[in-house]
């Protein structure tokens, strides 16, 4: 096995002591030793490859604590990107409709046209496209525009027909169909997972061939940014079948944590037709996923107090996607089966539902180390964090919201006081709640360094400092995407830090990110190492782009 010695740079191990040794010795795909350079040179085998860091910084490769791999690849290859600034470059409705029209012109009649990443709060008109507007694009194609949050969208007439929805269709629990307030006619807006149905699934319009193409594109993007362990945090049985296309002995080029939909259990693992899983070592069937609420842009996140500027007087606090009784049943079931649970809770009222459900489940079946996790936790209150610490509940914060939607939180969603403490990571530290931070790709792109900047510096897209009291250190932000992210899914014994016996997954950074937090975004990933082998080099990519140009 090939041995390598990494030396002559800063090494941030992310171990329990946050030690900074002089050198790291790897052997094959594992870390063999960490310590003084002279000591490692004495013990390294003959023929060891010398990796001179040349003053750069070596850290554990980043781990995505919550995302939807390979959605970013699907968007790049098959869907129409309608993201408005600062996420993208689609500023207004006319541009969005023209992009959809161009896609429809190249799509056979009757086939779907899908736009994604549309944000009603960032587009100039401040609303979703209407059914009539999408019909003006085409009446010969079903057209579906998915919101950036993934929790709602807009459809043209043909898409609504395909979905089986008409003006007499009642609103389901946790969802609603937009209607003209005077006539009751459908306006094309569809809100909530229950109302969207298959339109909200990760694998909508994705066959096996497209899955493989999107997988490769997404993998390459993640590796470019130093991520070697990713997540698909809403895995239907169909999408799990696509992952199962990789044989047990096939290395897909990235490791993944797959979170099956909680409602699939116990049939998924114990039913008469259980999932036929290939036991590929690079894929882990991890926590089961549940939801309590929606998202902020369309005000479907469930709050305990009304939105600062409510969109719908009938739902001033947003909405829950489930009842407390149903959530209690799901949490109790999964907890008793021994599964870890990740539950999407954006609003504090949604989080309260999950905390209550876990509390009841623990009374019924005590477990000392369950690591049930609140996903997003944007508006967690201090009393909830205290209770989470007591119950052993952890959280993954959507800290990228500070940059991408922070101004709207301040002005519209939450108002100044509550907006100051979105993604309250500093409060979590204070109360002893271990946490991670995430991008929720493809909602925001997987960019670990920029994500750290969001949690550390907390500047909105307009440059407003939002919540100085919730700033965390650069080291905490890096740990939240390395060792703490590994711990959150029970992988801390094999990855997440640079320690002997762990997998040799590293990122080599252009500078030490700890030196100056204001310069955090100046830090570049120059190399990514996976299982001891380089899988991305910035210099090589730059040369390839130059050759193509």
The Cα diameter of the chain in Å comes to 82
Pairing of strands 435-437, 394-397: parallel
Q: What is the pLDDT of residue 186?
A: 95
Render pLDDT for 169-180 as a digit per residue (tens, 0 to 9). Answer: 999 988 889 999
With H, G, I as helix, E, B as strand and everything else as coil, classify residue 211.
helix
Sorted by sequence, the CB contacts under 8 Å of residue 279 that are 6+ apart come out as: 248
Render pLDDT for 268-327 as a digit per residue (tens, 0 to 9). Answer: 999 888 888 888 999 999 999 999 999 998 899 999 999 999 988 999 999 999 999 999
Rg over alpha carbons for the chain, rounded to the nearest Å, is 23
Beta bridge partners of 255: 229
CATH superfamily for 208-488 is Metal-dependent hydrolases (3.20.20.140)
With H, G, I as helix, E, B as strand and everything else as coil, classify residue 31.
strand
Domain covering 84-147+152-191: architecture: Roll (3.10)
For residue 248, the number of C-alpha atoms closer than 13 Å in the C-beta half-sphere is: 4
Render pLDDT for 351-371 as a digit per residue (tens, 0 to 9). Answer: 999 999 999 999 999 999 999
Backbone angles phi and psi of 55, in degrees to 5:
85, -5
Write the DSSP assignment of 235-266 as a string of letters.
E-HHHHHHHTTS-TT---SSEEEEEEBGGGTT
Burial of 520 (C-beta count, 10 Å sphere; 0-12/13-18/19+): buried
DSSP state of 13: -
CB 425 within 8 A of CB 399: yes
- Percent of residues, the chain, with pLDDT higher than 70: 99
Whole-number Å distance between alpha carbons of 522 and 518: 9
> What does the block give as tokens for 271?
């039913």
Q: What is the pLDDT of residue 544?
A: 74
Sorted by sequence, the CB contacts under 8 Å of residue 168 that are 6+ apart come out as: none
CATH superfamily for 3-61+500-548 is Urease, subunit C, domain 1 (2.30.40.10)
Backbone angles phi and psi of 478, in degrees to 5:
-75, -40
> What does the block give as tokens for 513?
């990110």
CB 529 within 8 A of CB 535: yes
- Percent of residues, the chain, with pLDDT higher than 90: 88
**Statement: residue 548 has pLDDT above 70:** no
> What does the block give as tokens for 542?
């730059």
Whole-number Å distance between alpha carbons of 498 and 475: 15
Q: What is the pLDDT of residue 23?
A: 98
**Statement: residue 65 has pLDDT above 90:** yes
User: Sheet holding 30-35: strands in order across?
Assistant: 30-35, 23-27, 3-7, 49-52
Render pLDDT for 311-345 as a digit per residue (tens, 0 to 9). Answer: 889 999 999 999 999 999 999 999 999 999 999 99
Q: What is the pLDDT of residue 496?
A: 98
**Statement: residue 257 has pLDDT above 70:** yes
Q: What is the pLDDT of residue 198?
A: 87
Render pLDDT for 403-460 as a digit per residue (tens, 0 to 9). Answer: 999 999 999 999 999 999 999 999 999 999 999 999 999 999 999 999 999 999 999 9
C-alpha 190: how far from chain center: 22
**Statement: residue 549 has pLDDT above 70:** no
The domain spans of the chain are 3-61+500-548, 84-147+152-191, 208-488
The pTM of the whole model exceeds 0.85: yes
Q: What is the pLDDT of residue 150?
A: 86
**Statement: residue 543 has pLDDT above 80:** no
Write the DSSP assignment of 84-142 as a string of letters.
PTTTSS--SHHHHHHHHHHHHHTS-TTS-EEEEEE-TTTSTT-SPPPHHHHHHH-SSS-
Render pLDDT for 399-413 as a digit per residue (tens, 0 to 9). Answer: 999 999 999 999 999
Burial of 494 (C-beta count, 10 Å sphere; 0-12/13-18/19+): middle
Render pLDDT for 471-516 as a digit per residue (tens, 0 to 9). Answer: 999 999 999 999 999 999 999 999 999 999 999 999 999 999 999 9
Q: What is the 3-state secondary structure (H, E, C) of 415-465?
A: HHHHHCCCCCHHHHHHHCCCEEECCCCCCCCCCHHHHHHHHHHCECCCCCE
Q: What is the pLDDT of residue 337?
A: 97
User: Sheet holding 255-260: strands in order across?
Assistant: 62-63, 227-235, 255-260, 283-285
The predicted model gives 192-197 an average pLDDT of 88
Render pLDDT for 7-40 as a digit per residue (tens, 0 to 9). Answer: 999 999 999 999 999 999 999 999 999 999 999 9
Write the DSSP assignment of 341-382 as a string of letters.
EEEEE-SHHHHHHHHHHHHHHHHHS--S----EEEE-TT--H
**Statement: residue 157 has pLDDT above 70:** yes
The conformational region for residue 301 under phi > 0 = left, psi -120 to 50 = alpha, else beta, is beta
Q: What is the pLDDT of residue 201?
A: 79
**Statement: residue 545 has pLDDT above 80:** no
- Reported as a pLDDT band with limits 50, 70 and 90, residue 68 is very high
């Amino acid at each position: 096995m090939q041995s390598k010695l990494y030396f002559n740079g800063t090494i941030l191990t992310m171990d329990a002591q946050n030690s900074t040794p002089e050198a790291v010795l790897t052997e094959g795909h594992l870390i063999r030793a960490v310590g003084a350079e002279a000591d490692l040179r004495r013990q390294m085998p003959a023929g060891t490859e010398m990796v001179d860091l040349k003053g750069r910084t070596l850290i554990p490769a980043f781990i995505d604590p919550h995302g939807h791999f390979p959605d970013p690849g699907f968007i790049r290859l098959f869907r129409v990107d309608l993201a408005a600034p600062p996420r993208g470059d689609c500023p207004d409705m006319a541009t969005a409709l023209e992009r959809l029209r161009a896609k429809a012109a190249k799509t056979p009649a009757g086939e779907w046209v899908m736009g994604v990443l549309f944000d009603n709060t960032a587009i100039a008109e401040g609303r979703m496209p209407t059914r009539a507007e999408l019909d003006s694009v085409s009446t010969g194609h079903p057209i579906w525009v998915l919101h950036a949050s993934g929790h709602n969208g807009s459809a043209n007439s043909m898409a609504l027909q395909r979905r089986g929805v008409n003006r007499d269709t009642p609103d389901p629990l946790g969802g609603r169909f937009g209607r003209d307030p005077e006539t009751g006619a459908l306006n094309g807006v569809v809100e909530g997972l229950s109302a969207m149905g298959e339109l909200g699934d990760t694998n909508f319009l994705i066959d096996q061939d497209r899955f493989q193409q999107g997988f490769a594109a997404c993998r390459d993007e993640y590796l470019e940014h130093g991520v070697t362990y990713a997540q698909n945090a809403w895995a239907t049985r169909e999408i799990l079948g696509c992952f199962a296309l990789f044989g047990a002995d096939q290395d897909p080029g990235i490791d993944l944590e797959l979170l099956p939909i909680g409602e699939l259990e116990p049939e998924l693992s114990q039913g008469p037709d259980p999932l036929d899983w290939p036991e590929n070592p690079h894929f882990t069937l991890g926590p089961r996923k549940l939801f309590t609420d929606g998202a902020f842009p369309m005000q479907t996140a469930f709050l305990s107090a009304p939105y600062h500027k409510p969109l719908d007087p009938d739902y001033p606090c947003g909405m829950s996607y489930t009842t407390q009784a149903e959530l209690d049943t799901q949490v109790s079931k999964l907890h008793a089966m021994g599964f870890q649970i990740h539950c999407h809770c954006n609003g504090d009222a949604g989080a309260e539902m999950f905390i209550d459900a876990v509390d009841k489940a623990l009374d019924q079946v005590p477990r000392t180390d369950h690591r049930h996790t609140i996903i997003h936790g944007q508006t967690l209150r201090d009393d909830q964090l205290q209770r989470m610490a007591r119950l052993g509940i952890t959280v993954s914060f959507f800290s990228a919201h500070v940059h991408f939607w922070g101004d709207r939180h301040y002005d519209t969603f939450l108002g100044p006081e509550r907006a100051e403490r979105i993604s309250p990571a500093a409060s979590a530290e204070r109360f002893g709640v271990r946490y991670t931070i995430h991008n929720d790709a493809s909602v925001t792109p997987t960019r670990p360094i920029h994500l750290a900047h969001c949690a550390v510096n907390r500047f909105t897209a307009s440059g407003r400092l939002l919540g100085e009291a919730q700033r965390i250190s650069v080291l905490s932000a890096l740990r939240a995407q390395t060792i703490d992210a590994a711990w959150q899914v029970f992988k801390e014994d094999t990855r997440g830090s640079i320690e002997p016996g762990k997998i040799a997954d590293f990122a080599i950074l252009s500078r030490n990110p700890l030196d100056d937090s204001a310069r955090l975004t100046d830090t570049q990933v120059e190399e990514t190492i996976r299982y001891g082998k380089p899988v991305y080099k910035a210099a090589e990519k730059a040369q390839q782009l130059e050759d193509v140009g």
